[in-house]
Amino acid sequence: MDDFWTNAVFSVTPTIVVGLIFWFAMRAIIRADRAERRAYSDIEAEERARFEKLTADPHE
């Protein structure tokens, strides 16, 4: 019976390890994408504000 559980653990361990590595990699990619989108939105908002300031009617 001990041999069965040892084989079961050694059979499942590589799958779990590869799954964890995949999970951490995908998590890092998604977080990096989220941070990049946030930075892009900030830059875009600054550019829009600057454009609005440049194109504002000076007679208002």
Domain ranges of the chain: 20-55
Q: What is the DSSP letter of 58?
A: T
Backbone angles phi and psi of 27, in degrees to 5: -60, -45
| pLDDT tens, position by position, 11-49 | 999 999 999 999 999 999 999 999 999 999 999 999 999
pLDDT, residue 58, reads 63
* More reliable by pLDDT, 5 or 14: 14
pLDDT, residue 59, reads 65
pLDDT, residue 60, reads 57
| Global model pTM greater than 0.85 | no
Q: Residue 18 is which amino acid?
A: V
